[in-house]
């Protein structure tokens, strides 16, 4: 019953946003509707992660279908820009963490874990492993950034949306369903290989491999993609829980201010990238935005940005944070703890 309640709220939100001609109505409508509803509806609202994962598999297949394999020939040129952008972003985030630490009054380690735009689950795990990191603050900062980025970025790039006329589905439904089943099964392999966001990235890799072998992939029905957007939007809408608002006001304001600062940096860097690499503003903005790989990939497919570029940029940043930033943070704090104990 709780799931059905959320589904009804999400559908109402999607239809309302579609009627108002807002961008990406089937994602933003459910997100806004569910987010607002949980602050007023007294009954429990539940949206299992499995529904979000189904949506991610569908979007992953759609992105794999649209992925331009020719991008790999120019990957060397993009690599330099990706490294520079991510180094600037991490340095900026550490400086932002210092400002948050001083202005808000939270420990610097907590501020760093809250400010670096990696995966929510990975930084929550980092907070748990370190022990002296405020888990509630880290969770709120990452959630408020994800929600804010997904909510407001479509409006920022709305003037750059490439409108496409959706043709009726003419392919084979049973072939398409088989494709989705196999793509869903690829998630288990992705988990064994420890891919980041395996529910999203595994289907992309699977479809790219299939295309490399020259196999024709059935097209994605628009109605199915809208359903996937609804599944993901409702899940994101439930991320920001009412109890999170009970944090001190300075912490809440700090979370919103740091998110705005990161979006501001993204805006400036996207203008540079668009000019240097001749990308559209939507493509460069979504490539550098401090959201998740799955959310930015979904937005790219919805607004008509270059899905290949956005996916590669976001994946590189995710790997950069997981393979470089997090290990360096852990090493730094371990080293500092050893030095502190030696002084005692």
User: d(Cα 251, Cα 140) in Å, to the nearest integer?
Assistant: 9
Task: Give yes or no for a contact between 236 and 146, defined as CB atoms under 8 angstroms apart.
Answer: yes
Residue 192, CA atoms < 13 Å, CB-side half-sphere: 5
Give 144-183 pLDDT, tens digit per residue.
Answer: 888 888 777 777 766 555 444 445 555 677 788 888 898 9
Q: Say if residues 241 and 65 touch (Cβ distance below 8 Å).
A: no
* pLDDT range class, residue 339, cuts 50, 70, 90: low
In tens, the pLDDT along 187-213 reads 999 889 877 778 888 998 898 888 888
Compute the distance between CA of residue 127 and CA of residue 10 in angstroms, rounded to an integer. Answer: 32
Q: Which residue, 244, 241, 237, 234, is CA-closest to 50?
A: 234
Place of tokens 């940005």: 305
**Residue 163 pLDDT:** 47
117: closest CA among 140, 135, 81, 93?
Answer: 93
């Amino acid at each position: 019953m709780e799931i059905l309640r959320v589904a009804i709220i999400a559908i109402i939100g999607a239809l309302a946003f579609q009627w108002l001609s807002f961008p990406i109505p089937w994602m933003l409508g459910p997100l806004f509707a569910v987010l607002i509803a949980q602050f007023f509806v007294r009954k429990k609202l539940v949206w299992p992660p499995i529904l979000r994962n189904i949506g991610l598999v569908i979007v992953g297949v759609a992105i794999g279908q649209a992925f331009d394999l020719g991008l790999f020939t120019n990957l060397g040129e993009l690599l330099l820009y990706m490294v520079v952008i991510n180094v600037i972003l991490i340095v900026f985030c550490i400086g932002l963490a210092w400002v948050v630490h001083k202005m808000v009054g939270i420990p610097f380690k907590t501020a760093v874990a809250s400010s670096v735009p990696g995966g929510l689950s990975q930084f929550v795990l980092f907070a748990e492993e370190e022990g002296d990191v405020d888990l509630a603050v880290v969770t709120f900062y990452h959630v408020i950034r994800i929600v804010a980025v997904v909510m407001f970025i479509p409006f920022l790039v709305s003037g750059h949306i490439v409108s496409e006329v959706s043709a009726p589905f003419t392919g084979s439904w049973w072939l398409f369903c088989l494709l989705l089943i196999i793509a869903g099964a690829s998630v288990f392999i992705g988990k064994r290989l420890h891919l980041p966001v395996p529910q999203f990235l595994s289907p992309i890799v699977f479809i790219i491999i299939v295309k490399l072998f020259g196999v024709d992939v059935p097209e994605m029905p628009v109605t199915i993609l809208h359903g996937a957007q609804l599944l993901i939007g409702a899940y994101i809408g439930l991320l920001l829980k009412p109890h999170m608002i009970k944090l001190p006001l300075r912490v809440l304001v700090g979370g919103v201010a740091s998110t705005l600062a990161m979006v501001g940096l993204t805006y400036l860097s996207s203008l540079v990238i668009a000019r240097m690499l001749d990308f559209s503003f939507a493509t460069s903005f979504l490539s550098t935005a401090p959201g998740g790989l799955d959310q930015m990939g979904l937005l790219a497919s919805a607004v008509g940005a270059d899905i290949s570029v956005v996916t590669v940029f976001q994946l590189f940043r995710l790997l950069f944070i997981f393979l470089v930033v997090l290990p360096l943070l852990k090493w730094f704090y371990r080293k500092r703890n050893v030095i502190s104990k030696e002084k005692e």
